[in-house]
Amino acid sequence: MASEGSGKALGVADTEPIIARGHTLETVTNKISSIILTRGTTPGWLIGFLIAFSMLMLLNLVITLLMIKGVGIWGIRIPAAWGFAIVNFVWWIGIGHAGTLISAILLLLHQQWRTSINRFAEAMTIFAVMCAGMFPLLHMGRPWLFFYLMPYPNPMWLWPQFRSPLVWDVFAVSTYFTVSLLFWFLGMIPDFATLRDRAKHKAGQIIYGMLSMGWRGSAVHWSRYEIASVLLAGLATPLVVSVHTVVSFDFTIGIIPGWHTTIFPPYFVAGAIYSGFALVLTLAIPIRRVYHLEDLVTARHLDIMAKVMLATGLIVAYGYGIEAFMAFYSGDYYEKFMLTNRLHGPYMGIYFMLLTCNIALPQLLWIRKVRRSIPALFVISLIVNTGMWLERFVIVVISLARDFVPSSWRMYYPTRWDWATYVGTFGLFFTCFYLFLRFLPMISIVEVRALVHETNEEDLRLHK
Amino acid sequence: MGQIFHRSTNMVSRISIYGAVLIIAALAYALYAIAMSPWYTNVGVKLQQPVPFSHRHHAGELGIDCRYCHTSVENSSFAGVPPTQTCMTCHSQIWTNSSMLEPVRASYRNDTSLEWQRVNALPDFVYFDHSIHIAKGVGCTTCHGQIAEMPLTQRAGTLYMSWCLDCHRQPEKNLRPKAEVFDPFYQPPSRLHAVTVDGMEFTDQLTMGRYLRKEYKVASLQYCSTCHR
């Protein structure tokens, strides 16, 4: 293989190409656009969509019931007033971070391996933020008054409490959603134009035509497109760090033992990227199989994502370590109790499950064989997702259920409606995701074409 | 491949982009206009009352003191709606055959209450006390408007929280000498019309207001729990 030598010549450790060889501009366009335009609605897609949609209807049911009866249908009882809703909020919003990291930071760092996975990672971000955003609104008890959170001139002459991190959350999450959506849409414009030109039906031509916003592929268009992409990437870059930092402030500003620590922002951000990459893997592995995209989303991609997971997982482990260390180092009675309560309290099973899922098992990723084994990666990604969900449960529930005064302690048990809400947001996520797979280009045609061009040029140059 | 869109689409898309901004601005203004309209706030809306009672006649032309009917205004949260007996103190002697007053006489005869429609009703989650406002130099007409010029009683303020806070944040804008609190024709000081307090002549509301605020020890209460107890 020619690349073997070239890799050494260039001093690159991993000589494997990012995407499989043998692709031309034509084949890339054909392959990705045919998924939407000629593959049609397959029975497998339909079944998956219907399952997701029925879960979405479950969410509909829960929300209706919640509007009628109030948040009492959930298991939240004082002192644990933040139950599943906040656990799920933090979990979903964390997942989104991988998409932004891949699309913004890795774009600015010219990491070419991002091109095949950025589109659906961004889609994942947007749908995950949609799911996340619902929880604080539903948790308010009177969701129809959600606009009280926004600073707008009102007849009460009241502003939101700007000193509250819950208000910072509103800004962080809504900015995040807006920038992610714009970034996602902007990236798809040239691809929409391709779909418009290739669509057979009038409806497809018109819809993709409108979405492509008059894209003709002129040099001016390309130049502006590049500038806008870099600008938006620059805007999105701080969001990767800031959003989950603000989410962690929801906890750190409070004085509850186990929340009031300075390690939270970095450790939350690392955890967010950790869980985000896990979900990208969970989604990418079946998708590349079903749509036969193994040559575009290669084993190398999965390997790199596994490494990112391993690295962020270690940061998270460091966070747990520091939490435990500081509990003793601070000498604070309640902090120490918080730790013993995690280790020996009524929720100790969950804490040990968390340590197993988030720290112990992902260490398998050190082994190259595991990173190259697709079933193993899939299982580990699911384990990490579970682990990160448990982490939020540990933070939210264990600290709240047993705070300062033993007389106010009370166990938190989720009700069936808690579970139904959680499952329901999966319905929302996967309904959106199925529609995305069916109607939007799940891999960036434009960027992969650019990559193919560069790879082929490189090969030609090296063959001379 | 033929063109999908007509040439005019270029113009339509441009208009829709700029139009979106205008439409959002117009919607925001419409919401504001609705929130401020009498249709929504009931300001200036005359309610159907059992008897067309005129404050202009009683408080303005005849000069009956507010407290003659609203007896508890100085020492209760509620100013008090007068019982029929209060009406009958005069109307047992004058206008005894007026058909307009028949509901009043019927109420007196049958010992049933006249069912007045509340003009200024605050929601139950708001604690409001008339007596403290009276005691601190807030005049009746400050909130109830030019009552002595209303043939039929109507709401003068929106009763929005912003309306309350407007004064609570800057009480000096509306304070008047305690002696003038019940004067329905009171005019705030101006260059043409001076108001005398403690031997001092004021020609400017803010200067007088600041003096009175100090004198009457008026706090600018803005805690949530001041009104939402």
Q: pLDDT digits over A145-169, tens only?
A: 988 888 988 888 888 999 999 899 9
pLDDT in the model for residue B1: 56
Chain B residue nearest residue A201, CA to CA: B4
The ranges assigned to domains in chain A are: 18-149+161-463
Cβ of B10 and A214 within 8 Å? yes
- Could you say which of 3.90.1150.10, 1.20.1630.10, 3.40.30.10, 1.10.357.10 is the CATH number of the domain covering A18-149+161-463? 1.20.1630.10
pLDDT in the model for residue A439: 94
- Mean of pLDDT values over A210-239: 92
Tens of pLDDT, residue by residue over B78-125, are 999 999 999 999 999 999 999 999 999 999 999 999 999 999 999 999
Q: How far B77 CA sits from the closest chain A CA (Å)?
A: 22
Give A279 or B4, the one with higher predicted confidence: A279
Is some CB atom of chain B closer than 8 A to the CB atom of A78? Answer: no
Cβ of B1 and A197 within 8 Å? yes
Cβ of A156 and B35 within 8 Å? no
The ranges assigned to domains in chain B are: 9-36, 55-81+119-227, 82-115
Tens of pLDDT, residue by residue over B147-181, are 999 999 999 999 999 999 999 999 999 999 999 99
Backbone angles phi, psi at A153, to 5 degrees: -65, 120
Burial of B86 (0-12, 13-18, 19+ CB in 10 A): middle
Res. B132 pLDDT band, cuts 50 70 90: very high
Q: How far is CA A231 from CA A108, A240, A304, B53, B92, in A?
A: 10, 15, 26, 68, 84
Q: Report how many Cβ contacts below 8 Å link chain A to chain B.
A: 29
Mean pLDDT of chain B: 93
Is some CB atom of chain B closer than 8 A to the CB atom of A158? Answer: yes
What is the SS3 assignment for chain A?
Answer: CHHHHHHHHHCCCCCCCCCCCCCCHHHHHHHHHHHHHCCCCCHHHHHHHHHHHHHHHHHHHHHHHHHHHCHHHCCCECCECCCHHHHHHHHHHHHHHHHHHHHHHHHHCCCHHHHHCHHHHHHHHHHHHHHHHHHHHHHCCCHHHHHHHCCCCCCCCCCCCCCCHHHHHHHHHHHHHHHHHHHHHHHHHHHHHHHHHHCCCHHHHHHHHHHCCCCCCCHHHHHHHHHHHHHHHHHHHHHHHHHHHHHHHHHHCCCCCCCCCCCHHHHHHHHHHHHHHHHHHHHHHHHHHHCCCCCCCCHHHHHHHHHHHHHHHHHHHHHHHHHHHHHHHCCCHHHHHHHHHHHHCCCHHHHHHHHHHHHHHHHHHHCHHHHHCHHHHHHHHHHHHHHHHHHHHHHHHHHHHCCCCHHHCCCCCCCHHHHHHHHHHHHHHHHHHHHHHHHCCCCCHHHHHHHHHHHHHHHHHHHC
Cβ of A156 and B1 within 8 Å? no
Q: How far B160 CA sits from the closest chain A CA (Å)?
A: 6
Q: How far A255 CA sits from the closest chain B CA (Å)?
A: 23
b/e map A364-373, b = 16+ CB within 10 Å: bbeeeebbeb
Cβ of B161 and A157 within 8 Å? yes
Mutate to test the interface with A, among B36, B162, B227 (most CBs of A within 10 A): B162
Chain A partners within 8 Å of B33 (Cβ): none
Percentage of chain A surpassing pLDDT 90?
67
pLDDT at A4 over 80: no
Chain A residue nearest residue B7, CA to CA: A214
Tens of pLDDT, residue by residue over A341-362, are 999 999 999 999 999 999 999 9
Backbone angles phi, psi at B154, to 5 degrees: -140, 160
Three-class SS state of B46: strand
pLDDT at A2 over 50: no
Chain B partners within 8 Å of A154 (Cβ): 162
Closest CB to B162: pick one of A157, A197, A209.
A157
Q: Closest Cα to residue B226, out of B176, B138, B143, B164? A: B164
Percentage of chain B surpassing pLDDT 90?
91
pLDDT in the model for residue A21: 77
Backbone angles phi, psi at B185, to 5 degrees: -105, 15
Three-class SS state of B195: strand
Res. A384 pLDDT band, cuts 50 70 90: very high
Mutate to test the interface with A, among B1, B3, B4 (most CBs of A within 10 A): B4
Q: Is the pTM of this model over 0.95?
A: no
Is some CB atom of chain B closer than 8 A to the CB atom of A203? Answer: no
Q: How far B174 CA sits from the closest chain A CA (Å)?
A: 19
Cβ of A209 and B5 within 8 Å? yes
pLDDT in the model for residue A13: 44
pLDDT at A261 over 50: yes
Res. A1 pLDDT band, cuts 50 70 90: very low
Res. A464 pLDDT band, cuts 50 70 90: low
Cβ of A197 and B10 within 8 Å? no
pLDDT at A11 over 50: no
Cβ of B13 and A214 within 8 Å? yes
pLDDT in the model for residue B212: 96
pLDDT at A214 over 70: yes
Is some CB atom of chain A closer than 8 A to the CB atom of B35? Answer: yes
